Amino acid sequence: MSFIVTEAGGLATNGHIPILELQPTAIHQRAPCYLGSKHDVQELMNHLKA
């Protein structure tokens, strides 16, 4: 999903770095995932930083 959203012009992040840059360290590793338009995800990131 992250790849599709990113290719469509949106953003996919875990709140710190882009999801596609995550390197799994365990087979069942979990991470938060925020997907959406650039504007919506940037607005979310601003709220998370506050």
User: Which tokens sit at 14?
Assistant: 């875990």
Indicate the pLDDT class of residue 50, thresholds 50, 70 and 90: confident
Largest CA distance in the chain: 33
pLDDT digits (tens, 9 = 90+) for 1-40: 999 999 999 999 999 999 999 999 999 999 999 999 999 9
Domains of the chain by residue range: 2-22+30-49
The CA-CA-CA angle for residues 43, 44, 46, to 5°, reads 65
Is 36 within 8 Å of 11 (Cβ atoms)?
yes
Global confidence as pTM: 0.81
The pLDDT, as a whole number, for residue 31 is: 93
